[in-house]
Amino acid sequence: MLDAPFDPDSRVEAVEAPSGTDLGSLVGLAREVYVEVALDDDFDYRLAEIAAHGFRAKARCSGGPAQLRWFLLECRSQRLRYKLTGGLHHARRTGDEYGFLNVLAAVVFSDEDALDDDDPQAIELSASGFRWRDEVAAPDEVAYARNARLHSIGSCSFFEPVSELEALGVLPL
């Protein structure tokens, strides 16, 4: 639940709510309303509720939760936009943490096997396109996936992801 009443304000672009929030209390607060979903046994039901309200979902990736694969599948089947946070510090899969490029590959190519791919040669990102193994997407296809599905990612570190992209030769463009 939100701690205090909130009057809609056109200057507010997005609102995020924690897991367990009463969805009715979020109606009309902003154009983009993200509701965090605990990746537990009931998340598919919660995603359906979020979609029915026209909201977006948010999930944490810390520790590489096994249910992330099912979260992505369920969001895709419900045409639900979402954001992912926590644990996305690295460009590529590292130990039990998903790489943000692995997540992007899973979303762009609609193949959640990309989440577990730890081959450093499997993923390539450049100004001309995005590649995962034999799959290739043009920049407009990546932009579509970002707009229609994975709206954004978050990391507690700004510099770590940027320095990894620099090391891969992706930045500066």
The pTM is what? Answer: 0.88
Strand partners, 129: 126
pLDDT in tens, 132-146: 999 999 999 999 999
pLDDT in tens, 152-165: 998 888 888 899 88
- Where do the structural domains in the chain lie, given as residue ranges? 14-167
Whether the Cβ atoms of residue 91 and residue 168 lie closer than 8 Å to each other: yes
CA distance 21 to 2: 7
